[in-house]
Amino acid sequence: MTSSEPGVGFGPADRLAQDPESVRRRFWIKFKKVVASLPFAEDLLAAYYCAFDRQTPRHVQAALLGAIAYFILPFDFVPDMLPILGFTDDAAVLATALRMVASHITPEHRDAARAALKRGVPEEE
């Protein structure tokens, strides 16, 4: 991701987003730990599938990888371990990214997210 590409505007997340394989690996580790407490799990998974879809334009991938990177960082503005409030900042960053690229998240991405949640916490996909 270059400085002209959209990101979440949070340096550590933007740097992490530049390494998609690290994002992929670290995403599943964190997702497995917290899926039960995420009311936005389906949206997060749909964003993940869209970000790693080869048909998704690079600028959309960059925006989504930035939001996903923010989610997987061990630190953020509101610590994730706080009950109820812990994931509000993650949800806000994801919601912003989703609004920016909503037309690129296809029914197939959403179907894959629903199927993965129905199967239980997926292995790395």
Residues 64/47, Cβ–Cβ less than 8 Å: yes
**Chain-centre distance for alpha carbon 92:** 11
2 falls in which pLDDT band (50, 70, 90)?
Answer: very low
The per-residue pLDDT for range 16-38, each reduced to its tens digit, is 788 888 888 888 888 887 776 78
Q: pTM, whole model, 2 decimals?
A: 0.71
Tokens 């690079």 belong to 58
Compute CA distances 124 → 22, 29, 46, 56, whole Å: 12, 9, 15, 20
Distance CA 57, CA 102 (A): 13
- pLDDT at res. 1: 41
